[in-house]
Amino acid sequence: MSVFLGIDVSTTATKALLADATGRVVAVAASEYPYDTPRPLWSEQDAALWWTGATAAIRAVLAQAGLTGADVAAVGLTGQMHGLVMLDEHGQVLRPAILWNDQRTGAQCDAIRARVGRERLIQLTGNDALTGFTAPKILWVRDNEPEVYARVRHMLLPKDYVRLRLSGAYAMDVADGAGTLLVDVRRRDWSAEVLAALDLPRAWLPPLFEGPEVTGRVTAEAAAATGLKAGTPIVAGGGDQSAQGVGVGAVRAGIVALTLGTSGVVFAASPMPVIEPEGRLHAFCHAVPGRWHMMGVMLSAAGSLRWHRDTFAPEQSFDALVAPAADVPAGCEGLLFLPYLTGERTPHPDPLARAAFVGLTVRHGLPHLTRAVLEGVACGLRDSFELMKAAGLPPVEQVRVSGGGARSALWRQILADVLNVRLVTVNTTEGAAYGAALLAGVGAGAWSSVDAACEACVTVTGEVMPQPEAAAAYEPVYQHYCGLYPALKPTFQALA
């Protein structure tokens, strides 16, 4: 039996997934680990956890499937984006990795904008300087830990450290590389202009590869640690969002992936780089060769519903909480919810933004509050769609929804109505790890292209069409929603 292994190095666990040549998921295993917050705004992780997590998950998934390493035809990698791993000349990690959700680098973001020029930075890299990206973290280490910086000879992202341990190769895929803020997204290569402006050595950065390209092979030492066969090819893979896009088949223009997890992600593939001029959307290279994607991120999507349940009805299941909201009319009789419980990124990159219920009256009960949360998150996701439309993204044909929140039929209908689009579910639920396995299969020759792999393996399982009356009712609701942040921003700043 020939299978493909997808490895997802996330913030809380490393997942290993095996898929066969028909795209069927054979087995899934995961190994969990913590991350550290040594100071306010800081988020760090010991890189060794990723390797021990990977070895444990790989051995577990092989055992679960009753297979050996000889059955694995190729390995694909994905994982958390933006994390900074600094290594010395011998490949030894110099300090804990600074993760994607670390917020310490505000001053360094300002310095990057000053050195490169904000507009030039957005045009080159597709993004504004945000605290989550890798480049500001490098400058922070240079500014605050010069003794560490002096010893740096290599820089990697989290999944690429696992690649190094598996193959001995320093390599990175162009999709994950685009999240460093150091890649010229149009050229799909490191930006000499940005590196020169920031005085960063090109020699520290690994070569970039397209998602299905082979970057190395499993070494004898890694084979002994993982149970894989020495010589097994390892493909470049992709950052978690681009691999998730592959996993649900969002690989061509017109198909948009909407992930309704703790955070909410709107992901749209494009045959050309489409850059939002103010940098309010992320523009990255796709894991699909020669393609790009735009991405909007809201920080509290299904996380808003979890907070609502835990705060107001902790004894209820999500299904029991949501069911009565179906009887509340669209617009909740004048009640709005602004879902900025943890600040916001798209369209307002503002860590001081806060959540709010607006329009409460004595007529409103718990079902109204619940529906307002569902509608507020839908409006927040629509913000990304509106920005993409204005930036020139090709028309949306279909939105593929996934994530825990997508299990709610009511929420899916609200999303279809607020967005006024055809919303579908697909047969794949393992997201990024599955996408990494498909990329491995393409690299091994099981499919001729990523498009062919997605066409063969990803199928639509359900459909929700917008209801014309509800869609019309939500238009003024969305316009009122858009007015909330500008009106409340001075209050948010004063309270903070």
Residue 1 pLDDT > 80: no
Nearest alpha-carbon partner for 98 in 151, 152, 156: 156
Tell me the per-residue pLDDT of 285-341, one tens digit each, with 9 for 90 and over.
Answer: 999 999 999 999 998 999 999 999 999 999 999 999 999 999 999 999 999 999 999
240 is catalytic: yes
Under DSSP, the state recorded for 463 is E
pLDDT at 420 over 80: yes
The pLDDT value given to residue 349: 87
How do residues 126-167 score in pLDDT, each as one tens digit?
999 999 899 999 999 999 999 999 999 999 999 999 999 999
Among candidate residues 439, 435, 417, 437, the one with its CA nearest the CA of residue 426:
435
Fold of 3-242: Nucleotidyltransferase; domain 5 (3.30.420)
Average pLDDT of 214-226? 98
CB burial of 80-113 (b: ≥16 within 10 Å; e: otherwise) equals bbbbbbbbeeeeebbbbbbbbbbebbeebbebbb
The DSSP output letter for 467 is P
Segment 366-372 shows an average pLDDT of 98
| CATH architecture observed for domain 250-427+466-496 | 2-Layer Sandwich (3.30)
User: Model-level pTM?
Assistant: 0.93
Amino acid 6: pLDDT: 98
Whether 30 contacts 14, CB under 8 Å: yes
pLDDT of residue 101: 87
Domain boundaries, the chain: 3-242, 250-427+466-496
Could you give the 3-state DSSP secondary structure of residue 458?
coil
Tens of pLDDT along 33-86?
999 999 988 999 999 999 999 999 999 999 999 999 999 999 999 999 999 999
Give the residue from 135, 132, 31, 16 showing the smallest Cα distance to 72.
Answer: 16
The helix (run of H) or strand (run of E) holding residue 462 is strand 460-464
Distance in angstroms (rounded) separating the CA atoms of residues 233 and 75: 6
Spatial distance between the Cα atoms of 42 and 141, rounded to a whole number of angstroms? 13
Mean pLDDT of 224-246: 97
Q: Name the nearest CA neighbour of 23 among 6, 42, 47.
A: 6
Taking residues 111-119, what's their average pLDDT? 98
In the chain, % of residues over pLDDT 90: 94
DSSP 246-301: HHTT--STTEEEEEESSSEEEEEEESS----TTS-SEEEE-SSTT-EEEEEEES-S
CA nearest 108: which of 86, 140, 85? 140
Q: Which residues pair with 272 in a beta bridge?
A: none
Mean local confidence (pLDDT), 96-106: 93
Q: Check: CB of residue 72 under 8 Å from CB of residue 229.
A: yes
**CA-wise closest residue to 59 among 49, 48, 46, 72:** 72
For 108, phi and psi rounded to 5 degrees? -70, -35
Please report which confidence band the pLDDT of residue 103 belongs to, taking 50, 70 and 90 as the band edges.
confident
Tens-digit pLDDT profile for residues 436-452: 999 999 999 999 999 99
Pairing mode, strands 25-32 and 13-20: antiparallel
Cis status, amide bond into 351, omega within 30 of 0 = no
Mean pLDDT rounded to a whole number for the chain: 96
Residue 194 DSSP label: H
Predicted local distance difference test score (pLDDT) of residue 201 = 98
The per-residue pLDDT for 148 is 98
Domains 3-242 and 250-427+466-496 share a fold: yes
Mean pLDDT of 408-420: 97
In order of 25, 157, 219, 398, the CA distances from 50 in angstroms are 23, 11, 18, 36
Question: Which residue in 160, 240, 383, 417 is the catalytic one?
Answer: 240
Residues counted in the chain: 496
How many secondary structure helices (H) and strands (E) does the chain include?
17, 24
